[in-house]
Every structure is written in C-alpha cells, then in structure tokens.
Structure 1
Amino acid sequence: YADEIGISVNSGLYFTFMAIGLAVSRMFSGRQVDKGRITLVISLGMYLAAASFFGLAALERLMRWNPVFTSYLYIGIALSQGIAFGTMFPAFNTLFVNLAPNSQRGTATSTYLTSWDVGIGIGLMIGGSIAQAFGGFNHAYLFGACLTILSTLFFLLKAGPHFNRNKLR
C-alpha cells in the first residue's frame, strides 16, 4: 500500500512499530483485564482500530497534501494498530474463557483462535477483491473501518452486555 501511494518508508519499519505497539499495549491492558474491565479494554481497542483503518484509508489523499507528514502518520498508524490489536485480542480471549465452564475453557480458546484465523483469511480475500475492484487499498481500508464500526456497535449493544450478564468468573 505504501508503494502504491508513494510513501517511501521501509515496510519493515511499519511492522517494527506495530510490534512495539503490541508490546506496549500488553503492559497496561492486561492489568485492566485483571481488574475486570474486559469490555472497556475491548471497546477502547476497537475504537483505536477503527481510527487506524480510517487513517490508512485517508493516507492516499494526505499524500497529495504533505508527503512528509503522511510518512510519519503512516508509522504512527502502525503503532496505534499494534496497540489496538494487542489490547483487544487477548481481552477477547479472556472474554471467551470467562463465559465457558472450567471443563470447556480449551474449547473456548480454540473456537476463538479458529474464528480469528478464518476471519483474517476471509478479510484478506475480501480486502484484496475490494482493492482490485475499486482501484486501491484505500477503499479496502475504508471498508474495513466501516466494518470495525459495525463490529464495535454490535459489541457495545449485544456482546458486551451478554458477557456482563453471563460471565462465570
């Protein structure tokens, strides 16, 4: 995507900052989950993920305005994506485990991780199709941002309240 829109930042740097974000997020989100703030942690991660995807979608237009700023923003987005994913994915796993009886904790984790893998695979195929059909990855990221907003609303209105009513620990 960076090559497509003219950002000359090394893609390895993008993934390095994403990894830093993942590591940093684990320092504070785990403590919050341990204090019982699972739904809050997930919500905050989802908000940040949506903002990151909207930011990625806007990079092409921003590149025309200020290439230097856009390059820094690109790295900032990598950091924020790392924080978002590192915050919400372990919290989601905890949510699933806390809904399952002790004898089904392994099944809950396995179901969550399988769903995550399937979702990534389907998302990559759909994202690639959207990018090809509409002429760029910015459209795929915009679509992903919109789906993240819908997912956040579903979580806030349905899944989060269900968890709070039915959690076992």
Structure 2
Amino acid sequence: MNSEKLWTRNFISISASTLFLFLTFYCLLVILPLYALEDLHGQATDAGLVVTVFLLAAILIRPIAGQWLGRIEKRSLLLLSLCLFLIADLFYFFMHSIGSLLVLRFMHGISFGIVTTVCGTIVADLIPSSRKGEGMGYYAMAMNLAMVIGPFVGLTTFYRWGATTSFIISSIFALFALILGSSLRLPKEQQTVATKTQAAFHIKQLFEVSAVRISVTAAFFSFVYASILSFVSVYAKEIGLAKAASYFFVVYAVVMLLSRPFTGKLFDKRGANVIIYPAIIFFAIGMLLLSMAHTTFLFLLSAACIGLGWGTLFPCFQTIAVQNAAPQRRGVATATFLSIFDSGVGLGSFVIGLAAVHIHLSFLYLYCSLLVLIGVGVYYTLNRDHAAASTRSKQYGNENPSGQHNQAV
C-alpha cells in the first residue's frame, strides 16, 4: 500500500506555497510584539493582542471558508485568499499606532484563515489514504520549517535594520506563496466537493462533529504553545540570551526534521497512541527546561525537547481530525480543527500577555509545563474511543477512508 505516490507535483506545490505562507506568518509573529512595544510604545497586553486579534479573525472566518470549499473551485479560492493575504501584508508599512495595527491584524487574519483552510483541505485530498500520517507529517514540516526560518529572518532583520526591512521580507515571502500556489493544477474531480443536491443550510454544517474532540485536545496544548510563539523572544531578552533567541527555532526544526520520517510512518503502522503519549512528555520536559534556562545550553536543549514533543503532536492531531471525517467533509473538518486549535493559541497569547505583567515568564513557563502534563489526561479522556479504533484499524489494515469508523469522536 505504501507504493502509492506521495511526492506529486501538486503535493510539492501546495507544501511549498504553505512554507512561504507560514514564513510570512512567523516572521511577523515574532517581530510585531516587539514592534508594538518598542516602536509604537505599547504595553505587554498590546503585544498579546497583536497575536490574538489575528487569530480571532482566522477563527471566525474558517467555518465559512469550509462551506465555501463545497461551492467554489478550490484553486480559485486559494488564489483569491493568497492575493488578499499579500495585499494585507503590504499595509504594515503604513501602521503607526496600536489601534491601526490591530485593525490590520484582523483583516490579515481573515485572509490567513481562508487560505490555511483551503490548503489543509487540498493536501488532505492529495495524500493517499494509506500514507495519511506520513503525508500530513511532511506537510506539517513545511509549517515547522517556516517556524525556524521565519523567526530567524524576522528577528535578525528587525534587530539589525529595523521593522521596515522585516516588512519587506515578509511581503516577499507572501508573494512567493502566491506564485507557488498558482502553479497548482488539481484534477477536475478535486476542484470541488460540492454535491448537486444540497440540503437546506444548518448551523451544524459549519462544523465537523467528528473533529471536535481531537481539536479541543489540540487547543489545550496550543494554549501552552502560544507562550512560545508570542513571548520566547521577549523571554530570551529578559534572561540575557537575546542572541540565542533566533537559534531556538533552528534547534527546534533540526530535531523535528530528524524525527519526522520515523514518527509519520510509525503513526500509520502502529496508531496514534504510540506517538502522542511520548510526545506529550517531551513537550512537558521542554517547557520545564525553558523555565529554568539561564544558559544558552539549557535554552537550546529546551528547544530540542519542544521540537520533538510539540513538533510531533500537531501533525498527529491534524491527521486524526482529517481521518475521522468523510471525504466530502474534509474541508469543514480542516476548518473545525484549525479554528479550535487557533482559539487555544489566541486565548493563550492574551492570557499569558496579561499574566506577564505581574509574573516573570520563567514562572509562567514552569506552570505551562504542568499544564502539558495534565494534557495526558485530557487526551486520554477525550480521545480514548478513537485511539482504540485507530489501533485496531492499523493492526488489521481495515482503514475506512470515508471516516465513518468512529463518528463519536
């Protein structure tokens, strides 16, 4: 079964476009909190809101985007959303107040929510059913690579040449995302999953029930992950390791890249639990080490553990969400997963931003490590039915591509 081709032209095109899309996202993610604090003279809560408002917009639009995927040609929707994403990125040059920046972040988040939903749906359709775990792992690797290169480029250009140069770089990344996305050529049957006869609209059509439990689990962990996205560069500066901040994501990516070929295939052969429980433990250890980091070695060691832990968890969770949905509901399942996941990131950024005013980030990271450990119980409680079904399907090779084997999840 593993002879089914994974690395097709379309898979490479959508993955490359996603890489540059997230390069833009992560480049802006690490510099905008600093830009809000240093250039616009905002507060810590403003730095958190820069992330939260962006993700809130993405969360609100994704259920609608999931519905559009059943009515609009996928490639057309992809190109439209990539164009909007690029246009919004160009407006950062003209933001000179916290208020205007937050408005732009909301508009930018809308385009981001649409394009990530479309990309996730397209790639789920392109990956052979027997290689879902492996394929989604490699697709997620594009986002993980962006998590390394984006912050590194963003922080380097910001500290050396200022915010304007960083905005130029992010715009170039967005342009390449559009160019690569336009090279996608989908087969006619994959252009849209719309049916000729559609039932009357119901609010439940905006969400895929089978993806909710694993999405809530992912959101729980993404709440903690938000503390890395939004504040690791600020934390590094506080503890005198500002120069090491850029390399945090480099170490993260190296470990993630080395583990990816093994974790994806193991997921397909042995099921989710074999991967997810150890990954949670590594994530918790990484957060604990980060809370104690006062040397470059400990700081980067924490990055390695987080890369092995969280870098493995995210693609596993997304794979489960897609597998549980019927083919015609994959767009909605992707939207459901990403919306709930981003809710955790957005809430985490805001809450940690509020807490950072009163509590040192080292203590916050310590508390986050405890939350990750609690996540073992969260995953077991919400997903044990799926875990049992998934394990059985891997053992007996009877995966149901329609996703009907476990509608209760």
* Offset, 1:100: 2.1
For the residues of structure 1 that align with 2:376 and 2:353, how far apart are their CA atoms?
A: 23
User: What is the TM-score when the length of structure 1 is the normalising length?
Assistant: 0.83
- Larger relative contact order (C-alpha < 8 A, sep ≥ 6)? 1
Match of 2:382?
159
* Offset, 1:105: 2.5
For the residues of structure 1 that align with 2:335 and 2:263, how far apart are their CA atoms?
A: 22
Q: Is the 8 A contact 2:279 2:308 kept in 1?
A: yes
Amino acid at match of 1:71: T
Gaps of 5+ in 1: 64-69
Q: Is the 8 A contact 1:128 1:140 kept in 2?
A: no
Instruction: Describe the SS at the equivalent of 2:332.
Output: helix
Gaps of 5+ in 2: 1-234, 391-404
What does residue range 2-151 of structure 1 map to in structure 2 within 5 Å?
A: 2-7=236-241, 9-59=243-293, 63=294, 70-134=295-359, 136-151=360-375
Amino acid at match of 1:160: N
State the superposition RMSD in angstroms: 2.0
Amino acid at match of 1:91: C
Deviations 1:1-35 (A, max 9, x none): 12212235431111111121222231211011111
Amino acid at match of 2:266: Q
Amino acid at match of 1:54: L
Instruction: Describe the SS at the equivalent of 1:35.
Output: helix
Q: Is the 8 A contact 1:39 1:160 kept in 2?
A: no
For the residues of structure 2 that align with 1:108 and 1:78, how far apart are their CA atoms?
A: 30
Match of 2:133?
none
Amino acid at match of 1:51: I
Instruction: Describe the SS at the equivalent of 2:358.
Output: helix
Deviations 1:86-141 (A, max 9, x none): 2111111111122223332222222112222221111111122222212x111221
Deviations 1:42-66 (A, max 9, x none): 111111111111111122xxx3xxx
Amino acid at match of 1:117: D
For the residues of structure 1 that align with 2:267 and 2:389, how far apart are their CA atoms?
A: 17
For the residues of structure 1 that align with 2:307 and 2:335, how far apart are their CA atoms?
A: 23
Number of matched residues?
158
Q: Is the 8 A contact 2:272 2:387 kept in 1?
A: no
Instruction: Describe the SS at the equivalent of 2:267.
Output: helix
Q: Is the 8 A contact 1:99 1:166 kept in 2?
A: no
Q: Is the 8 A contact 1:131 1:139 kept in 2?
A: no
For the residues of structure 2 that align with 1:21 and 1:32, how far apart are their CA atoms?
A: 17
Instruction: Describe the SS at the equivalent of 1:6.
Output: coil
Amino acid at match of 2:337: Y
Structure (1 or 2) with the greater helix fraction: 1
Amino acid at match of 1:94: T
Q: Percent identity, aligned pairs only?
A: 27
